[in-house]
Amino acid sequence: MSKANTIAPRDTAARNFGTVLKELDWRRYVIYIGFVVVFIFFAILLRDQGFLSPNNLLNIFRQTATITVIAVGMTYVIACAEIDLSVGSVAGLSSVCTAMALSQFGLVPGILAGLAVGLVVGSINGALVSLLGIPSFLVTLGMLGIAVGVAQWITASAPQPILNDTFNMLFGSGNFGPVPGLVVWSAIFVAIGAVVLNRTRFGRQVLATGGNRNAADFTGINTKRIKFQVLLISAMAASVAGMLYAGRLQSGRFQWGSGDELSAIAAVILGGTSLFGGFGSIIGTLFGALLIGLINNGLILAGLDSSQQQVVRGAIIILAVAMARKK
């Protein structure tokens, strides 16, 4: 084989590799790269503070479980080009309703009461957005205030203790074998969320509605129904997160979930879901939530106070928006 014939395939391969790099959408993978970089950074910086200890790593998964559950529901909303700012207050309201029903009526009614909060709030949000055409930002911003106000009102701002050991074990305090219950709950939501979004007709309709609503309407998709359903899913996920707060902390309080809407949105956008709709990644959302938990844990071990942590958390949200996928 001549020298020219040997060089030609190499040049072709180099050009093909360059083309692949140019066409590679790095925004899809930046969360995984960022997660590894941040993990290595804290592993080196905090090696003497026990960052890499099994207990600390397990704590990161525990601490991010409720955010992960909320963020899975939020992924559907944002992929549909909507937003839900009420999820944190819904979690708080669900926790107090669950606690109050548990003390009065027992385990099953308590669980049903918590789920009913998500069902009612999600139905109201969905109806106002899909039927009346009110922007989801305004609807859920108003619902945020309503839910937290109702939770504070019915409890007179007092914590509602939960003494039901079965509930506490199932929702946060117990383990399923060697695995903490919170981790199991987050894994279930991630698995179901990923399969439904990527492998079902409903998931494709959500992405189509977010990508181009007019085109989705022309193809026969009931976009109003899809918007209603994603807001219902988000509220139901938030109500489960509220019960996880209640089970882990063994009490219901209107403060549980406060600010979680911002963390969930940041996790979703960092995970690669388009802020403008049309694309969503549940696995990316999981890593986005873990990245936020990783940073929070590292900052605590590094000795930063809560105000400094808030500054970093705000910077993460700005970074998430800056890296949002464009249409």
What is the average pLDDT across 276-305?
88
Q: Are 170 and 115 in contact (CB under 8 A)?
A: no
pTM: 0.88
Fold entry, domain 28-323: ABC transporter involved in vitamin B12 uptake, BtuC (1.10.3470)
Least confident of 50-59, 246-255, 315-324: 315-324
> DSSP state, 324?
P
All residues at 6 or more sequence positions from 234 whose CB lies less than 8 Å from its CB, including other chains? 70, 73, 74, 76, 77, 84, 87, 122, 125
Residue ranges of the alpha helices (H) in the chain?
Answer: 3-23, 30-45, 54-79, 87-105, 107-130, 136-155, 165-168, 181-199, 201-211, 213-218, 223-249, 260-270, 282-301, 306-322
What residues does 175 pair with on adjacent strands?
180
Sign of CA dihedral 149, 151, 152, 153: positive
| pLDDT of 62 above 60 | yes
Tokens 């949002």 label which residue? 324
Question: Tell me: the pLDDT tens digits for 186-216?
Answer: 999 999 999 999 999 999 999 999 999 989 9
| pLDDT of 113 above 90 | yes
Q: How far apart are CA 3 and CA 1, in angstroms?
A: 7
Domain spans of the chain? 28-323
Question: Tell me: the pLDDT tens digits for 12-47?
Answer: 655 555 555 455 555 667 788 888 888 898 888 888
Q: What is the pLDDT of residue 18?
A: 53
User: Quick count: other Cβ atoms within 10 Å of Cβ 313?
Assistant: 17
